[in-house]
Chains A and B, each alone.
Chain A
Amino acid sequence: GENVEQHPSTLSVQEGDSAVIKCTYSDSASNYFPWYKQELGKGPQLIIDIRSNVGEKKDQRIAVTLNKTAKHFSLHITETQPEDSAVYFCADGHYNAGNMLTFGGGTRLMVKP
Protein backbone atom coordinates (compact mmCIF):
# COMPACT_ATOMS: atom_id res chain seq x y z
CA GLY A 1 0.00 0.00 0.00
CA GLU A 2 0.92 3.67 -0.17
CA ASN A 3 -0.77 5.33 2.78
CA VAL A 4 -3.19 4.04 5.42
CA GLU A 5 -5.06 6.37 7.76
CA GLN A 6 -6.58 4.94 10.92
CA HIS A 7 -9.21 6.48 13.19
CA PRO A 8 -9.74 7.07 16.01
CA SER A 9 -6.30 7.14 17.64
CA THR A 10 -7.87 6.37 21.02
CA LEU A 11 -11.19 4.76 21.85
CA SER A 12 -12.72 4.20 25.26
CA VAL A 13 -15.80 1.98 25.64
CA GLN A 14 -17.72 0.39 28.47
CA GLU A 15 -17.47 -3.35 28.87
CA GLY A 16 -20.15 -5.03 26.77
CA ASP A 17 -20.39 -2.20 24.26
CA SER A 18 -19.20 -2.44 20.66
CA ALA A 19 -16.03 -0.84 19.28
CA VAL A 20 -15.42 0.20 15.68
CA ILE A 21 -12.07 1.22 14.19
CA LYS A 22 -11.87 2.50 10.64
CA CYS A 23 -9.04 2.62 8.12
CA THR A 24 -8.79 4.34 4.75
CA TYR A 25 -6.24 3.37 2.14
CA SER A 26 -5.03 5.05 -1.02
CA ASP A 27 -3.55 2.25 -3.15
CA SER A 28 -6.31 0.98 -5.41
CA ALA A 29 -4.25 -2.15 -6.14
CA SER A 30 -4.28 -3.27 -2.48
CA ASN A 31 -6.08 -6.57 -2.03
CA TYR A 32 -5.19 -7.72 1.49
CA PHE A 33 -6.26 -6.05 4.74
CA PRO A 34 -5.11 -7.56 8.05
CA TRP A 35 -5.73 -6.33 11.59
CA TYR A 36 -3.21 -6.73 14.39
CA LYS A 37 -3.67 -6.49 18.16
CA GLN A 38 -0.69 -5.45 20.27
CA GLU A 39 -0.77 -5.84 24.02
CA LEU A 40 1.70 -4.09 26.28
CA GLY A 41 5.15 -5.64 26.07
CA LYS A 42 4.22 -7.97 23.23
CA GLY A 43 4.51 -8.07 19.47
CA PRO A 44 1.52 -7.48 17.17
CA GLN A 45 -0.74 -10.51 16.81
CA LEU A 46 -2.80 -11.11 13.68
CA ILE A 47 -6.45 -11.29 14.76
CA ILE A 48 -8.35 -11.22 11.48
CA ASP A 49 -7.72 -10.46 7.83
CA ILE A 50 -9.74 -10.04 4.67
CA ARG A 51 -8.98 -10.20 0.99
CA SER A 52 -10.60 -7.98 -1.60
CA ASN A 53 -12.81 -10.70 -3.06
CA VAL A 54 -15.12 -10.59 0.00
CA GLY A 55 -16.90 -7.73 1.73
CA GLU A 56 -17.11 -9.08 5.27
CA LYS A 57 -15.51 -11.69 7.48
CA LYS A 58 -16.41 -12.74 11.03
CA ASP A 59 -14.63 -14.64 13.74
CA GLN A 60 -16.68 -14.88 16.96
CA ARG A 61 -16.84 -11.33 18.40
CA ILE A 62 -14.62 -9.82 15.73
CA ALA A 63 -15.61 -8.81 12.21
CA VAL A 64 -13.99 -6.87 9.41
CA THR A 65 -15.85 -5.11 6.60
CA LEU A 66 -14.35 -3.85 3.36
CA ASN A 67 -15.66 -1.23 0.97
CA LYS A 68 -13.38 -1.28 -2.06
CA THR A 69 -15.21 1.52 -3.84
CA ALA A 70 -14.70 3.90 -0.93
CA LYS A 71 -11.29 2.38 -0.09
CA HIS A 72 -12.01 1.82 3.54
CA PHE A 73 -12.22 -1.13 5.88
CA SER A 74 -13.31 -1.41 9.49
CA LEU A 75 -12.81 -3.61 12.52
CA HIS A 76 -15.87 -4.34 14.64
CA ILE A 77 -15.58 -5.82 18.12
CA THR A 78 -18.86 -6.73 19.83
CA GLU A 79 -19.47 -7.42 23.53
CA THR A 80 -16.12 -5.91 24.45
CA GLN A 81 -14.21 -7.30 27.41
CA PRO A 82 -11.37 -5.76 29.47
CA GLU A 83 -8.92 -8.16 27.79
CA ASP A 84 -9.73 -6.51 24.46
CA SER A 85 -7.84 -3.45 25.72
CA ALA A 86 -4.78 -3.07 23.48
CA VAL A 87 -3.45 -1.15 20.51
CA TYR A 88 -4.95 -2.22 17.20
CA PHE A 89 -3.21 -1.69 13.84
CA CYS A 90 -4.76 -2.03 10.42
CA ALA A 91 -2.63 -2.62 7.34
CA ASP A 92 -2.94 -3.05 3.61
CA GLY A 93 -0.90 -4.95 1.08
CA HIS A 94 -0.82 -6.99 -2.12
CA TYR A 95 -1.23 -10.59 -1.02
CA ASN A 96 1.10 -13.11 -2.63
CA ALA A 97 2.75 -10.38 -4.68
CA GLY A 98 5.79 -9.91 -2.51
CA ASN A 99 4.83 -6.41 -1.45
CA MET A 100 5.21 -5.40 2.16
CA LEU A 101 2.38 -4.26 4.39
CA THR A 102 1.68 -0.59 5.08
CA PHE A 103 0.44 -0.05 8.63
CA GLY A 104 -2.03 2.48 9.93
CA GLY A 105 -1.09 4.68 12.88
CA GLY A 106 -2.81 2.51 15.49
CA THR A 107 -5.81 2.81 17.82
CA ARG A 108 -5.53 2.47 21.57
CA LEU A 109 -8.69 0.74 22.75
CA MET A 110 -9.59 0.90 26.42
CA VAL A 111 -12.46 -1.22 27.72
CA LYS A 112 -13.66 -0.05 31.11
CA PRO A 113 -15.11 -2.71 33.42
Chain B
Amino acid sequence: DTEVTQTPKHLVMGMTNKKSLKCEQHMGHRAMYWYKQKAKKPPELMFVYSYEKLSINESVPSRFSPECPNSSLLNLHLHALQPEDSALYLCASSSRPGEKLFFGSGTQLSVL
Protein backbone atom coordinates (compact mmCIF):
# COMPACT_ATOMS: atom_id res chain seq x y z
CA ASP B 1 0.00 0.00 0.00
CA THR B 2 1.72 3.18 -1.22
CA GLU B 3 -1.21 5.53 -0.79
CA VAL B 4 -1.87 8.59 1.25
CA THR B 5 -5.63 8.95 1.60
CA GLN B 6 -7.29 12.31 2.24
CA THR B 7 -10.89 13.08 3.07
CA PRO B 8 -12.98 14.88 2.11
CA LYS B 9 -11.98 15.56 -1.51
CA HIS B 10 -13.96 18.79 -1.58
CA LEU B 11 -15.13 21.07 1.23
CA VAL B 12 -17.10 24.28 1.21
CA MET B 13 -17.35 26.13 4.50
CA GLY B 14 -18.43 29.48 5.85
CA MET B 15 -16.13 31.74 7.83
CA THR B 16 -17.80 30.77 11.12
CA ASN B 17 -17.71 27.02 10.57
CA LYS B 18 -15.47 24.43 12.19
CA LYS B 19 -14.33 21.56 10.01
CA SER B 20 -11.55 18.99 9.92
CA LEU B 21 -9.44 17.52 7.15
CA LYS B 22 -8.24 13.95 7.56
CA CYS B 23 -5.23 12.08 6.24
CA GLU B 24 -4.21 8.44 6.58
CA GLN B 25 -1.22 6.36 5.48
CA HIS B 26 -0.32 2.74 6.12
CA MET B 27 3.23 2.71 4.79
CA GLY B 28 4.79 2.85 8.26
CA HIS B 29 6.00 6.36 7.59
CA ARG B 30 7.02 8.33 10.67
CA ALA B 31 6.87 11.83 9.16
CA MET B 32 3.64 13.47 8.01
CA TYR B 33 3.09 16.88 6.50
CA TRP B 34 0.42 19.43 5.65
CA TYR B 35 0.95 21.61 2.58
CA LYS B 36 -1.19 24.39 1.13
CA GLN B 37 -1.29 24.88 -2.63
CA LYS B 38 -2.80 27.84 -4.43
CA ALA B 39 -3.68 27.59 -8.10
CA LYS B 40 -0.66 27.57 -10.43
CA LYS B 41 1.76 27.64 -7.47
CA PRO B 42 3.98 25.02 -5.84
CA PRO B 43 2.98 23.44 -2.52
CA GLU B 44 3.82 25.52 0.57
CA LEU B 45 4.78 23.71 3.74
CA MET B 46 2.53 24.34 6.74
CA PHE B 47 3.30 21.70 9.38
CA VAL B 48 5.56 18.69 9.88
CA TYR B 49 5.00 15.89 12.37
CA SER B 50 7.97 13.71 13.14
CA TYR B 51 7.31 10.56 15.18
CA GLU B 52 3.89 11.96 16.09
CA LYS B 53 5.32 15.21 17.46
CA LEU B 54 4.97 18.62 15.82
CA SER B 55 8.46 19.51 14.61
CA ILE B 56 7.82 22.36 12.17
CA ASN B 57 5.15 25.07 12.11
CA GLU B 58 5.80 27.48 9.28
CA SER B 59 4.20 30.46 11.05
CA VAL B 60 0.72 29.26 10.17
CA PRO B 61 -2.19 31.25 11.64
CA SER B 62 -3.84 29.67 14.69
CA ARG B 63 -7.10 29.18 12.79
CA PHE B 64 -5.32 26.09 11.42
CA SER B 65 -4.71 23.47 14.12
CA PRO B 66 -2.94 20.20 13.29
CA GLU B 67 -3.27 16.99 15.22
CA CYS B 68 -1.50 13.64 14.92
CA PRO B 69 -3.50 11.03 16.89
CA ASN B 70 -1.15 8.19 15.92
CA SER B 71 1.57 7.32 13.42
CA SER B 72 -0.96 6.64 10.62
CA LEU B 73 -3.33 9.57 11.02
CA LEU B 74 -3.04 13.32 10.59
CA ASN B 75 -5.81 15.85 10.99
CA LEU B 76 -6.08 19.55 10.24
CA HIS B 77 -8.75 21.37 12.24
CA LEU B 78 -10.13 24.52 10.65
CA HIS B 79 -11.91 27.34 12.46
CA ALA B 80 -12.86 30.88 11.48
CA LEU B 81 -11.14 30.70 8.12
CA GLN B 82 -10.93 33.56 5.66
CA PRO B 83 -11.78 33.48 1.93
CA GLU B 84 -8.05 33.76 1.14
CA ASP B 85 -7.57 30.38 2.84
CA SER B 86 -9.33 28.75 -0.10
CA ALA B 87 -6.79 26.37 -1.64
CA LEU B 88 -5.86 22.74 -2.17
CA TYR B 89 -4.66 21.23 1.10
CA LEU B 90 -2.24 18.38 0.60
CA CYS B 91 -1.14 15.77 3.08
CA ALA B 92 2.15 13.96 2.54
CA SER B 93 4.25 11.38 4.30
CA SER B 94 7.80 10.09 4.22
CA SER B 95 9.58 7.29 6.01
CA ARG B 96 11.56 9.89 7.97
CA PRO B 97 11.74 13.71 7.80
CA GLY B 98 13.45 14.92 4.64
CA GLU B 99 13.10 11.65 2.71
CA LYS B 100 10.95 10.84 -0.33
CA LEU B 101 7.59 12.56 -0.09
CA PHE B 102 4.37 10.79 -1.01
CA PHE B 103 1.38 13.09 -1.46
CA GLY B 104 -2.32 12.46 -1.13
CA SER B 105 -4.79 13.80 -3.70
CA GLY B 106 -5.69 16.74 -1.51
CA THR B 107 -8.81 18.46 -0.22
CA GLN B 108 -10.05 21.35 -2.35
CA LEU B 109 -11.27 23.88 0.20
CA SER B 110 -13.51 26.83 -0.57
CA VAL B 111 -14.22 29.38 2.15
CA LEU B 112 -17.26 31.56 1.51
Residues of A within 8 A of B (CB): 34, 36, 41-46, 49, 89, 93-101, 103-106, 108
B interface SS class: loop
Known: A46-B101, A89-B43, A96-B96. 13 other contacts (CB 8 A): A34-B101, A43-B4, A44-B90, A49-B100, A89-B42, A93-B98, A94-B98, A95-B98, A98-B96, A98-B98, A101-B98, A101-B101, A106-B41
Name A44's contact: one of B40, B43, B45, B96 (CB within 8 Å).
B43
When distances are taken between beta carbons in the complex, the residues of chain A under 8 Å from B97 are: 98-100
A47 to B30, alpha carbons, bound, how many Å?
22
When distances are taken between beta carbons in the complex, the residues of chain B under 8 Å from A104 are: 42
- A22: min CB distance to chain B, Å: 16
Nearest CB in chain B to that of A46: its residue:
B100
CB-based contact B48/A43 at 8 Å:
no
CB-based contact A99/B103 at 8 Å:
no
Name B102's contact: one of A46, A98, A105 (CB within 8 Å).
A46
A interface SS class: loop
A48 to B104, alpha carbons, bound, how many Å?
17
A42 to B90, alpha carbons, bound, how many Å?
9
Name A43's contact: one of B40, B42, B99, B103 (CB within 8 Å).
B103
When distances are taken between beta carbons in the complex, the residues of chain B under 8 Å from A100 are: 45, 48, 56, 97-98
CB contacts between A and B, total, < 8 Å: 55
When distances are taken between beta carbons in the complex, the residues of chain A under 8 Å from B90 are: 43-44
CB-based contact A45/B103 at 8 Å:
yes
When distances are taken between beta carbons in the complex, the residues of chain B under 8 Å from A97 are: 98
A77 to B98, alpha carbons, bound, how many Å?
26
CB-based contact B43/A103 at 8 Å:
yes
Name A34's contact: one of B4, B43, B100 (CB within 8 Å).
B100
